Amino acid sequence: MRALYIALKDLKMRLRDRNTLVMMLLLPVGMTAIIGFAFGGESGISTVEFLLVAPEEGGFLAEAAAGLLSHHELFDVERATEEEARRAVAAGEKSAAVVIPEGLLDSVLTGAPAEVRVLLDPASNIKAGIVQSMIEQFISYLSAGSAVGRGVFETLDRAEPLGDSEHLALWGWMFMWMRDAWTEPPVSLDTSTTDTDDLNVHAYFAPGFAVLFLLFTMLASAKTIHEERESGTYERLMAAPLSKTSIIAGKMTGSYVLAAIQILTLIALGGLLFGIKWGSHPGATIIMALVTAAGATSLAMLIAAAARTGRQTDSVGTAIILVMSLMGGSMWPIEQAPEAFQRFGRFTFNYWAHSGFKKLVFDDAGLAGITQEISIICAMSAVFVVVAVLLLSRRRI
Amino acid sequence: MHVRRIYSIAALNVRVLLSDRTALLWLLAMPIVFTFVSGVAFSGGGGGGDAPVRYALTVANMDEGSRGGELLDAILRSDEIDLLMLEGPAADEEAQLLVEDGDRSAALVIPRDYSERLAARESVTLTFHRNPERMNPLVTRRAVERVVTKLNADELAGRAVVSAHEAIRGAPSAEEELELTRAIRAFVSAEFAGPSTTVAVERLGRPAQSEAPDMGFQHSSPAMALMFVLLNGLMLSSMLVTEKREKTLARLLIAPVRRSEIVAANLAWRFIVGTLQLWFLIGFGALVFRVDWGDSMLALALVGAAYVAAVAGLSVLIGSLSGNPRRAETLSLVLSLAMCALGGLWWPLEITPEAYQTVGHLIPTGWAMDAMNNLLSRGYALSGVIPQVLVLLGFALGFSIAAVAAFRYE
């Protein structure tokens, strides 16, 4: 009961503090909004602008390449001279330029060597890479068609030299046949992308930022253990009929309730502001939120218990939180990192918290689907709390 | 304005800060940790930039004939990706589930009737499941696509030569058909081995370096250096507020120091600390992470100085406006994170919408990152970063004037 008074006092103090509210709500919501602005807005990614340098002769192949890319609204193709293209790409005004050589048509028809050049802006890793990839694909198709066409002439001519009339007839036949054959090739590759339509950028990043700022709030809350001592209020508490255990329990309870309020509010705001659907199992979402709150509270308490001063709690704790968030995927999609990096991430609380929320949002998982995450976070929390209590009970707070 | 007095106040603050171990953790150690972690994450393994990354592709070969195995052999021979084979009668469903659950990035499913349909000259479709959250499938799909293009060319060549023979010379005998097919496939294989039309990629800007820097660190080093100079610089704003609250600034009222000199001293010591931090990170990046900082050290120094000056100005402004240290810290954290995200320090601005890029250029980080790109990637000399330097100096001037106007002793 006495512990509850301490918890209530701490909770009131934190909720009255505007800085705490900024950290609890404004920052996670603001960061999620910025991410949505960057990657999920209706305007989407800006267009990939590139230049096409093509000769007059054989220009229809260049037009075919441009036409192929123009079909996609992502691309914006303009014609230019090579000099203009080099200047614009070097200045970073365009991501890339494609230079079609004079003899491309001849190369396709006769097998004469030809080189298509792709000029890339070195500061553009993504857009320039997209242009390069598309052009390589186009040339690969063109080369395949050319090889088949020339192979037919070559093979038949070797078997029995082609006469003029056969040559002409073969050209006509080839044109029609190739057109139909490549429309429906023998083997096609159908890409099935999971969940593309439902991919909500806010939904991906909101849980990560919620966990990150939950940890910051908890750290500030756990730090009050040192602040009480540094400001002398701890002495007053000890003068009251309170055991050390009650004080520690009160501090932890107050922090936990604050964490639960923060994470549940962020979940509600995510739904209201960003249209995040937290799955169709509200019970599972609430349990995941409460377990995450417990994990964050216990981790912050452990950091504060291990630190000697409030300042040390702040600086070392913030460092630990930021590294864990980076490794655990709270700040960016860890799935894009190398496998070894992801394996390290699994040692962090952030990884399991984010994983649980992702399963709720993207897989519509129920409680059974997030059992692993809940178990691991509960186990982590138990270890953190035990070590924190041991450390705190051995020293003068 | 008396330079000696400004120097005294600035030197004292620099000494106090540099003797603080916690401050050193944030000034030096944390940026290195962040640069290392994000560099490894984005370099695809942390190896040298010249070592290509091999991604793994999960495969469910359900084909009841031999052609599926031949396709996989061809993919393996391309030496671009590794294959993780799934066995069993439900391997196709397992592959799809693994991708949907996020346990695998991508999976290729070869259907049961693959060989049968190819033998019957019917079209057949391979299914490539990909997880949209990951980049690896873009690489693995391209590798599979290249093999499929070659396979299609082989298949179509065999069919084309027989059909062409039928069209102009009549149906070939079985023996002729076999010979024609063998001959054209040999021709197509030779064409693919040494294609007549090739694609040459030329990355403009700096000439290739003898020791290729790791692309992950090449991006993470400047970005993290700018980020931590900003974060630490703005966090120092709370020290000015603490001085106000503890009345140490008020004591200066009795000293022969003018208000503008106090603001100048605060700007100066923040500038010195920021510059030391930036050059430590530049040096560490060059020596340990093999980051190539461009051809013009003078240009890099000017960009760095202009950026640090802007950060110092903003830091003193926040300190002048804030009523208590915690408010200054909170405001600094909010501004730092927003400016890092909007200015392209966490992801390249090029992939964001136009409006986002415009916002990114309303703050110093967007201009500083542009300048870094011009120096490190495009190999510009001093003249190539003059606009960015001028804009950053403009920010520095604006923030400093505002700081002087907002400054109070208490």
**Residue B53 pLDDT exceeds 70:** no
CATH fold for the domain made of A48-183: abc type-2 transporter like fold (3.40.1710)
User: Chain B interface, mutation test: which of A24, A187, A320, most B Cβ atoms within 10 Å?
Assistant: A187
**Residue A171 pLDDT exceeds 70:** yes
Q: Which chain B residues touch A154 with a CB distance below 8 Å? A: 184, 187
Cβ pair B353:A333 closer than 8 A? no
The pLDDT confidence band at residue A351, using thresholds 50, 70 and 90, is: very high
Cβ pair A112:B348 closer than 8 A? no
- Between B124, B165, B197, which is nearest A186 by CB? B124
What dotted CATH number matches B55-193?
3.40.1710
Q: Which chain A residues touch B121 with a CB distance below 8 Å? A: 186
3-state secondary structure of B110: strand
Give B105-154 pLDDT, tens digit per residue. Answer: 789 999 999 999 998 888 899 999 987 666 677 778 888 888 898 888 88
Amino acid (one-letter) located at A195: D
State the pLDDT at residue A72. 64
Q: Which chain A residues touch B188 with a CB distance below 8 Å? A: 147-148, 151
Average pLDDT over residues B61-86: 88
State the pLDDT at residue B377. 87
3-state secondary structure of A188: strand
Average pLDDT, chain B: 86
The pLDDT confidence band at residue B208, using thresholds 50, 70 and 90, is: low
State the pLDDT at residue A100. 86
**Residue A196 pLDDT exceeds 50:** no
User: Chain B interface, mutation test: which of A115, A152, A202, most B Cβ atoms within 10 Å?
Assistant: A152
Give A216-247 pLDDT, tens digit per residue. Answer: 999 999 988 888 887 777 777 777 777 778 88
Cβ pair B132:A44 closer than 8 A? no
Cα–Cα dist B243/A2, whole Å: 38
Average pLDDT over residues A104-126: 84
Give B343-388 pLDDT, tens digit per residue. Answer: 999 888 888 888 899 999 999 999 999 999 999 988 888 999 999 9
Give A49-98 pLDDT, tens digit per residue. Answer: 788 887 765 566 667 766 666 666 677 888 888 899 999 998 888 889 98
Q: Domain boundaries in chain A?
A: 2-40+200-394, 48-183
State the pLDDT at residue B164. 87
How far is the alpha carbon of A309 from chain B, nearest alpha carbon, in Å? Answer: 11
The pLDDT confidence band at residue A6, using thresholds 50, 70 and 90, is: confident
Size of interface A-B (CB pairs under 8 A): 336
Residue A314 — left, alpha, or beta (φ > 0 → left; ψ -120 to 50 → alpha)? alpha
Cβ pair A121:B206 closer than 8 A? no
Average pLDDT, chain A: 84
Cβ pair A335:B197 closer than 8 A? no
B127 touches chain A (CB under 8 A): yes
Q: Which of residues 172-191 of A touch B (CB under 8 A)?
A: 173-174, 177-178, 181-182, 184-191
Please give the structure tokens belonging to residue B302: 């000017």
State the pLDDT at residue B293. 92
Cβ pair B126:A112 closer than 8 A? no
Minimum mean pLDDT among A260-269, A291-300, A340-349: which range? A340-349
Residue in chain B closest to A187 (alpha carbons) equals B124
| Closest C-alpha among A73, A69, A78 to residue A43 | A73
The pLDDT confidence band at residue A397, using thresholds 50, 70 and 90, is: low
Average pLDDT over residues B50-78: 83
The Cβ of residue A211 has, within 10 Å, a number of other Cβ atoms equal to: 31
Give B242-270 pLDDT, tens digit per residue. Answer: 888 887 777 776 777 777 788 888 899 99
The Cβ of residue A346 has, within 10 Å, a number of other Cβ atoms equal to: 13
> Within its chain, how far is the Cα of B305 from the centroid?
24
DSSP conformation letters of A111-177: ---EEEEEEE-TT-SSHHHHHHHHHHHHHHHHHHHHHHHHHHHHHHHHHSPPPHHHHHHHHHHHHHH
Q: Which of residues 17-46 of B touch A (CB under 8 A)?
A: 22, 25-26, 29-30, 33-34, 37-38, 40-42, 44-46
Q: Which of residues 219-248 of A touch B (CB under 8 A)?
A: none
The pLDDT confidence band at residue A105, using thresholds 50, 70 and 90, is: confident
Average pLDDT over residues B66-80: 87
Q: Which chain A residues touch B179 with a CB distance below 8 Å? A: 159
Cβ pair B346:A332 closer than 8 A? yes
The pLDDT confidence band at residue B188, using thresholds 50, 70 and 90, is: confident
Average pLDDT over residues A174-194: 76
Cβ pair B118:A89 closer than 8 A? no
The pLDDT confidence band at residue A370, using thresholds 50, 70 and 90, is: very high
**Residue B327 pLDDT exceeds 50:** yes
Cα–Cα dist A278/A230, whole Å: 42
Minimum mean pLDDT among A115-119, A285-289, B256-260: which range? B256-260
ipTM > 0.90 (yes/no): no
**Residue A44 pLDDT exceeds 60:** no
Cα–Cα dist A385/B157, whole Å: 70
Cβ pair B357:A327 closer than 8 A? no
Average pLDDT over residues B192-217: 73
Q: Which chain B residues touch A118 with a CB distance below 8 Å? A: 199-202
Q: Which of A198-202, B36-40, B62-66, B303-307 has the highest mean pLDDT?
A: B303-307
Q: Domain boundaries in chain B?
A: 3-46+217-406, 55-193
Minimum mean pLDDT among A51-60, A113-122, A179-188, B113-122: which range? A51-60
**Residue B402 pLDDT exceeds 50:** yes
- Between B101, B196, B356, which is nearest A111 by CB? B196
Query: A194 or B150, which is more confident?
Result: B150
Average pLDDT over residues A107-112: 81
DSSP conformation letters of B39-85: HHHHHTSSS-TTS---EEEEEEE--SSSHHHHHHHHHHHTTSEEEEE
Q: Where are the beta strands (DSSP E) in chain A?
A: 48-53, 75-79, 96-99, 114-120, 187-193
Cα–Cα dist B268/B184, whole Å: 76
State the pLDDT at residue A263. 96
How far is the alpha carbon of A193 from chain B, nearest alpha carbon, in Å? Answer: 5
State the pLDDT at residue B47. 40
State the pLDDT at residue A57. 59
Q: How many helices (H) and strands (E) does chain B have?
A: 17, 5
User: Scanning the structure block, which residue is given the tokens 């106007």?
Assistant: B405
Average pLDDT over residues B277-291: 94
Give percent of chain A above pLDDT 70.
Answer: 91
Give B151-186 pLDDT, tens digit per residue. Answer: 888 888 888 888 888 888 888 888 888 898 999 989
Cβ pair B153:A144 closer than 8 A? yes
> Within its chain, how far is the Cα of A154 from the centroid?
51
State the pLDDT at residue A45. 57
State the pLDDT at residue B135. 64
Average pLDDT over residues A348-363: 91
**Residue A136 pLDDT exceeds 90:** no
State the pLDDT at residue B155. 86
How far is the alpha carbon of B398 from chain A, nearest alpha carbon, in Å? Answer: 25
Q: Which chain B residues touch A194 with a CB distance below 8 Å? A: 99-100, 129-132
Cβ pair A34:B188 closer than 8 A? no
- Between B132, B326, B377, which is nearest A123 by CB? B377
State the pLDDT at residue A56. 66
> Within its chain, how far is the Cα of B268 from the centroid?
32
Residues 6+ apart with CB under 8 A from B182: none
User: Scanning the structure block, which residue is given the tokens 């171990």?
Assistant: B21
How far is the alpha carbon of A1 from chain B, nearest alpha carbon, in Å? Answer: 32
The Cβ-side half-sphere exposure at B348, using a 13 Å CA radius, reads 18
Query: A263 or A165, which is more confident?
Result: A263
Cα–Cα dist A374/A287, whole Å: 8
State the pLDDT at residue B332. 92
